[in-house]
Amino acid sequence: MQLGMIGLGRMGSDMVRRLIGGGHECVVYDVQPAAIQKLLQQGVTGASSLEDMVARLAKPRAVWLMVPAAVVDSTLAGLVPLLESGDVLIDGGNSWYQDDIRRSAALAPRQIHYVDAGTSGGVAGLDRGYCLMIGGERDVVQHLAPIFATLAPGVDAAQPTPGRKKGNSTAEQGYLHCGPIGAGHFVKMVHNGIEYGVMAAYAEGLNILRHADAGKRARDADAETTPLRNPEHYQYELDLAEVTEVWRRGSVIGSWLLDLIAATLVNDAGLKNYTGRVSDSGEGRWTLSAAIDEGVPAPILSIALSERFSSRGAADFADRVLSAMRHDFGGHVEKTADQPDTQKG
Amino acid sequence: MQLGMIGLGRMGSDMVRRLIGGGHECVVYDVQPAAIQKLLQQGVTGASSLEDMVARLAKPRAVWLMVPAAVVDSTLAGLVPLLESGDVLIDGGNSWYQDDIRRSAALAPRQIHYVDAGTSGGVAGLDRGYCLMIGGERDVVQHLAPIFATLAPGVDAAQPTPGRKKGNSTAEQGYLHCGPIGAGHFVKMVHNGIEYGVMAAYAEGLNILRHADAGKRARDADAETTPLRNPEHYQYELDLAEVTEVWRRGSVIGSWLLDLIAATLVNDAGLKNYTGRVSDSGEGRWTLSAAIDEGVPAPILSIALSERFSSRGAADFADRVLSAMRHDFGGHVEKTADQPDTQKG
Amino acid sequence: MQLGMIGLGRMGSDMVRRLIGGGHECVVYDVQPAAIQKLLQQGVTGASSLEDMVARLAKPRAVWLMVPAAVVDSTLAGLVPLLESGDVLIDGGNSWYQDDIRRSAALAPRQIHYVDAGTSGGVAGLDRGYCLMIGGERDVVQHLAPIFATLAPGVDAAQPTPGRKKGNSTAEQGYLHCGPIGAGHFVKMVHNGIEYGVMAAYAEGLNILRHADAGKRARDADAETTPLRNPEHYQYELDLAEVTEVWRRGSVIGSWLLDLIAATLVNDAGLKNYTGRVSDSGEGRWTLSAAIDEGVPAPILSIALSERFSSRGAADFADRVLSAMRHDFGGHVEKTADQPDTQKG
Amino acid sequence: MQLGMIGLGRMGSDMVRRLIGGGHECVVYDVQPAAIQKLLQQGVTGASSLEDMVARLAKPRAVWLMVPAAVVDSTLAGLVPLLESGDVLIDGGNSWYQDDIRRSAALAPRQIHYVDAGTSGGVAGLDRGYCLMIGGERDVVQHLAPIFATLAPGVDAAQPTPGRKKGNSTAEQGYLHCGPIGAGHFVKMVHNGIEYGVMAAYAEGLNILRHADAGKRARDADAETTPLRNPEHYQYELDLAEVTEVWRRGSVIGSWLLDLIAATLVNDAGLKNYTGRVSDSGEGRWTLSAAIDEGVPAPILSIALSERFSSRGAADFADRVLSAMRHDFGGHVEKTADQPDTQKG
């Protein structure tokens, strides 16, 4: 079927490619003309403006937004006046589900339909397909099924789940109508919350493995340094590329994230290409906020988020408070970083 | 090759089956004769005692222990006197790596070799193969390679890792010589530590999804209950079996653990078959202990372990301390569990 | 000076008593006439309605609200139309500071001033005085100084802080103008966030002390139970009332909260009067939300809040997910609560 | 009474001063003669060697060790052969209670008594007195009561606890016989564990207050930076010296640690004198280890300890793992520290 796509960044343009490959017709637009140019040879129709895009789409139109969460509202401000009753807007980006609820309510009087499509898959999605978590009216979502089916990975992307009746649900194809407006982004949000926790678990474990040679490094023997009682227990120099590779087969912690880190460690065992400033793009914050509203404990996610903040230096003042207190009650003087007990990064 | 197997519980007997299927010869022993009987039709040789087993093995003998960590030392007390210089003992159970170091040192004067083989794979290992993390002397480990190769899942169990040179390492087959004595169980220990964190991340996320209907439940409106400001944002009744199924394809959090929970939720969406008392079998504790010795932060693992303790009621007194303090400074009276704000389990 | 007080619950009525004792004139109102009656003999003027109260106050009026956060807006709806330009509203309850900002903005066109006064002190405040954290316009706050000075504990409530110039600030008396509108409740909010963390630290430590006899209790010796390697190290039966009492003198962790728990433990060493369902009244949630917005790590507070949710059963489904996963990959069967390793509460 | 003191560092020499002030006779020794010299004018007897000290003490001798935990065993190696049946050794340092148990058992055949005296009070102890948590045989501890009573703060150091019978216990004077060997250091260990948690709670809260002006700082508007939705809610520039001062009177979180940080902030509001590398001297690690052995949740302490490790750079590799994963699945490129969203320290 025909789809308008607004936003041709990494994600948007790959999704267009996958749709074209699946036989769909795409009319595309981006504020940067170069992004449109790049796709023209794929067989898309480029639009010179939002007006032009809307004019080129058959009614009822289906327009997919794949823009940063921060510019969805401004994009809608330009687009919505051009749309008509019965048209469908799909937000496939990382919007907060509460914005979906607000936007949908604003569009309702004009009978413009709104669908939120949480999209996971990242840069691998062009090949692997995208996992789609969808919220909105049932019949509107069903109308878009051909689009979702092409973007999704398909049944063969995973082994059948034992006990499931086949063909019972589109979940097996990799897309799911989760519920009313916002349900798609809600599920995607929690997906990312889980992602933070899973990533942190691997990161922590690999860090422990990396320091398994702690007994080989000299330590200060002063009152500010806890002695390592049994240095003979920490004499291992582990090859993390090998360890992550072996875990990929048969272990309990096999996963796609493990596949990725195993590949990265092959050529950069010390991860020298990274400095360790870890960004967060909002979903983790929103998941935590939802957990708080629900009164549901989310300690793993909380810690994973706090660690990202700390990686950017945001714990510095708190750490200085601790040092100051230790000085005040115990006369403890801070050690400096170039002393021999300095941690191996 | 020939292998003696002591301990024919769930893991040990499945491993024997896999070894027999791979053309190896197994002499087996268990304190419970019935466990031996069950395997006889698989073509194994049953031993009536440790002496009998040792007598039936060609020198240099290879004996694999697959017994609970708590009985390894007592088993060794009976077995070791029967062994001779050049024989090899493999501990495939969940021993603490520091016990490996101690045991190996005790065996060294008698030139009995010791290999620690951390084994992951659980009840699925018979079919999927076992991920093996191995510590010990290089030539001894190499001598056992045929055994490891059969137990391991094999190259085809996962897609090749981009960037890796093929055939470079046994890690691609699913077994790895990680380093000297104890290195195998050290890596397995951290594997389980990661497992705790990953499991907790999924559990927490699914719990948040389950309570996405919080706005539909009545709340008390008293000073002890935080009001839910926007109940309209928590009106989702999500089908967790469907959500976990859709995540299996194309999402960032696809994993074997997700496959398992997706299958369980098909027939028990509310997990009514479980009460939520979560055991721990030691590796998480040891991983945390290693992190502490190394001076490496492990907050995710710490929290995951604490949650298990709490699930068994071990936080009760701490919670009562909190209630008492709240009463003392603020006059707050505890709410009882049968009030209408009671959490949905 | 003259003050109107709306809300004569525990906090409001004690504050009126303290104000009367300090020579102020109070006109009081509560939706429950009995609450007014109780105060009449203290020398207050009772008002029969909001209208009556407003009529009895000299201009510019000062009206203090001490009502639950959930009814501030409805109270204001009735009160504000009765007020005039120059009057001052003080919210001394536990409002969210963002509501202060909103309310103040709504009152500004009518030139009604708004002051937020975060109040700490609890049931002991009548005697000890109240710690007041205040936000609002500087001259308005100064106008109310006599009220604040009487409510606050006064200089002698603590030893002078070494290095401080005397008389430099009202902080020494126990009240502080923290900044513009909302600053008072912001500081009070974070105060409560810290309170959660401090309380949790004591609770956790006391719980560890309580279980110092773990080596005296039998444990199961099965694969689901981690053995206690050195039961001889956990043979202590500690008297927590004595321990908390000794900590009150000279230790690093002396505090008012410790004083309180020491007193409670005197007569209820096992805290049998409590069940351990710990409520939260919102400030912890808001503090965490502020930390998230600021991008500042708050793991201690996060965990303390999550623990309260868990104490009310909100982790149950997550725990069942963990049990289900353990069963699925490892064949682990849940232990039941009446087995001998059951935790001491 | 007469006491030998070995170890005249900060703590040991102040304790001698307090004992002399209380009328006791002290024979002192330190490996550094200068430390002995400094005390001579206080009226102590200096010993030129361990032999000399032992010779100068009347039988049964009482010798107090106040040396770093790491040198207790080597000091005992020289001292113990000089002692006789009936003599008493007191370890007042920060030893691990399990070492007490071991040492006491080694001394038992020679009928040399051992007492562990956990000591809190820090550099303020000379004036405030020391909180003493004591383990050992009842009659031996009672024999030393005059020493403990002088070192302890005394009854007047705190208000009486409501509900306690007066004179019931030495806890009111600030010292307590907690139980058999090791009980004193066990209680002191948990005291320090609580201390870590309490300190972290204050540090976290003050950090949130410090960043209450987050809305005033420019942020990047890219996909790697979560936008601050309501910068108008984060416009506060709070004076932390004033805030901590006001909390000292009447608030729920008043404590000695708060007194200390309030004093430090007077002259160094930004804590520029500290870099934020926070040491740990072992008790936190041991407390966590005890919690693990007991199967008792200790998330607050775990996090507080992990934060200290992180403050020393020990999370760096874990953070790089996170950045690498984000790059791998999402194409996210790390931001560098000199970009305008850089955190205020």
Asked whether residue D338 is assigned to any structural domain, the reply reads no
How high is the pLDDT of residue A226?
77
Would you call C315 and A292 a contact, using CB atoms and an 8 Å cutoff? no
DSSP A236-272: ----HHHHHHHHTTT-TT-BHHHHHHHHHHHH-TT-T
Specify whether B48 is located in the same domain as B194.
no
Among D130, D172, D204, the residue with its CB nearest the CB of C300 is: D204
Confidence of residue C223 (pLDDT cuts 50, 70, 90): low
Nearest to D84 by CA among D102, D66, D57: D57
CA distance A56 to B307: 56
Kindly report, residue by residue over B32-68, the tens digit of the pLDDT.
999 999 999 999 999 999 999 999 999 999 999 999 9
Asked whether residue A14 is assigned to any structural domain, the reply reads yes
Is residue D185 within 8 Å of D118, Cβ to Cβ? yes
List CB contacts (< 8 A) between C252 and chain A.
329-330
Specify whether B130 is located in the same domain as B232.
no
pLDDT reading at C224 higher than 90: no
Q: Determine the average pLDDT of the residues in D3-20.
A: 97
Specify whether A280 is located in the same domain as A215.
yes
Specify whether D289 is located in the same domain as D323.
yes
Confidence of residue C230 (pLDDT cuts 50, 70, 90): very high
Range C35-38, long-range pairs (CB < 8 A, 24+ positions): C35/C8, C35/C9, C36/C8, C38/C8, C38/C13
What CATH number is given to the structural domain containing A287? 1.10.1040.10
Asked whether residue D261 is assigned to any structural domain, the reply reads no
Residue from D25, D51, D137, D195 carrying the catalytic annotation = D195
Is B98 an 8 Å CB contact of chain D? no
How high is the pLDDT of residue C340?
44
Centroid of chain to Cα C147: 21
Q: Kind of pairing, strands D113-120 and D131-135?
A: antiparallel
Specify whether D25 is located in the same domain as D174.
yes
How high is the pLDDT of residue C222?
66
Q: Determine the average pLDDT of the residues in C320-327.
A: 95
Is B326 an 8 Å CB contact of chain D? no
List CB contacts (< 8 A) between C205 and chain D.
190-191, 193-194, 197, 287, 301
Kindly report, residue by residue over C281-296, the tens digit of the pLDDT.
899 999 999 999 999 9
pLDDT reading at B338 higher than 70: no
How high is the pLDDT of residue A239?
98
Is D182 an 8 Å CB contact of chain C? yes
How high is the pLDDT of residue C341?
45
Q: Determine the average pLDDT of the residues in D252-265.
A: 97
Helix, strand, coil percent values for chain B (each to nearest 5): 50, 10, 35
Determine if the peptide bond prior to A60 is cis (ω within 30°): yes
Q: What is the CA radius of gyration of chain C?
A: 25
What CATH number is given to the structural domain containing C74? 3.40.50.720
Would you call A292 and C288 a contact, using CB atoms and an 8 Å cutoff? yes
Q: Which amino acid is at D256?
A: W
Handedness of CA C33, C39, C40, C46 (dihedral sign): negative
Min Cα separation D126/chain A (Å) = 12
DSSP B297-309: --HHHHHHHHHHH
Backbone dihedral region for residue B121 (phi beyond 0: left; psi -120 to 50: alpha; all else: beta): left
Specify whether C13 is located in the same domain as C153.
yes
List CB contacts (< 8 A) between C196 and chain D.
201
Kindly report, residue by residue over A65-104, the tens digit of the pLDDT.
999 988 999 999 999 999 999 999 999 999 999 999 999 9
Min Cα separation B63/chain C (Å) = 22
Would you call B314 and D306 a contact, using CB atoms and an 8 Å cutoff? no
Specify whether C136 is located in the same domain as C232.
no
Min Cα separation B78/chain C (Å) = 20
Is B272 an 8 Å CB contact of chain A? no
Is residue D265 within 8 Å of C190, Cβ to Cβ? no
Would you call D252 and B302 a contact, using CB atoms and an 8 Å cutoff? no
The predicted model scores a pTM of: 0.95
Residues of A numbered 108-127 whose beta carbons fall under 8 angstroms of chain D's beta carbons: which are they?
Answer: 122-124
A-D Cβ pairs (cutoff 8 Å, strict): 257
SS3 C276: coil
How high is the pLDDT of residue A100?
98
Specify whether B291 is located in the same domain as B224.
yes
Is A4 an 8 Å CB contact of chain B? no
Specify whether A33 is located in the same domain as A143.
yes
CA distance C248 to C271: 19
Kindly report, residue by residue over A230-258, the tens digit of the pLDDT.
999 999 999 999 999 999 999 999 999 99
How high is the pLDDT of residue D345?
61
| Helix (H), strand (E) at residue A89 | strand A88-91
Min Cα separation C51/chain D (Å) = 34
Is residue B165 within 8 Å of B19, Cβ to Cβ? no
D311 compared with B341, residue with greater pLDDT: D311
Mean pLDDT of chain B: 94
Query: Is D307 labeled as catalytic in the residue annotation?
Result: no
Specify whether D219 is located in the same domain as D315.
yes
DSSP letter at D294 equals H
SS3 D28: strand
pLDDT reading at A340 higher than 80: no
Specify whether D175 is located in the same domain as D228.
no
Specify whether C174 is located in the same domain as C25.
yes
| Residues recorded for chain A | 345
Kindly report, residue by residue over D139-187, the tens digit of the pLDDT.
999 999 999 999 999 999 999 999 999 888 999 999 999 999 999 999 9
CA distance A90 to A62: 7
Nearest to D232 by CA among D216, D218, D253: D216
Would you call C203 and B345 a contact, using CB atoms and an 8 Å cutoff? no
Confidence of residue D217 (pLDDT cuts 50, 70, 90): confident
Would you call C301 and D204 a contact, using CB atoms and an 8 Å cutoff? yes
How high is the pLDDT of residue B345?
61
Number of domains chain B contains: 2
pLDDT reading at A266 higher than 90: yes
Would you call C204 and D193 a contact, using CB atoms and an 8 Å cutoff? yes
Task: Return the partners of chain C (3 or more C-beta pairs < 8 Å).
Answer: A, B, D
Min Cα separation C305/chain A (Å) = 8
CA distance A137 to A104: 11
List CB contacts (< 8 A) between C248 and chain D.
157-158, 161
Among B299, B311, B314, the residue with its CB nearest the CB of C319 is: B311
* Residues of C that are catalytic: 188, 195
Mean pLDDT of chain D: 94
Asked whether residue C138 is assigned to any structural domain, the reply reads yes
Q: Which tokens is B53 given?
A: 């087993």
Residue with tokens 């520290």, as numbered in its chain: D337
Is A314 an 8 Å CB contact of chain C? yes
Would you call D297 and B289 a contact, using CB atoms and an 8 Å cutoff? no
Is A313 an 8 Å CB contact of chain C? no
**CA nearest C288 in D: which residue?**
D208
Would you call D191 and C175 a contact, using CB atoms and an 8 Å cutoff? no
State the residue range of the domain holding A88: 2-159+170-179
Asked whether residue D40 is assigned to any structural domain, the reply reads yes
Q: Determine the average pLDDT of the residues in B81-96.
A: 97
Task: Return the partners of chain A (3 or more C-beta pairs < 8 Å).
Answer: B, C, D
Q: Kind of pairing, strands C45-46 and C62-65?
A: unpaired
Residue from B25, B51, B137, B195 carrying the catalytic annotation = B195
Among D202, D268, D334, the residue with its CB nearest the CB of A274 is: D334
Confidence of residue C342 (pLDDT cuts 50, 70, 90): very low
CA distance D309 to A342: 11
Asked whether residue A258 is assigned to any structural domain, the reply reads no
Determine if the peptide bond prior to B109 is cis (ω within 30°): no
Cβ-based neighbours of B48, under 8 Å, separated by 6 or more: none
Mean pLDDT of chain C: 94
Would you call B235 and A171 a contact, using CB atoms and an 8 Å cutoff? no
CA distance A198 to D321: 12
CA distance A100 to A106: 10
Asked whether residue B245 is assigned to any structural domain, the reply reads no
Among B288, B312, B329, the residue with its CB nearest the CB of D292 is: B288
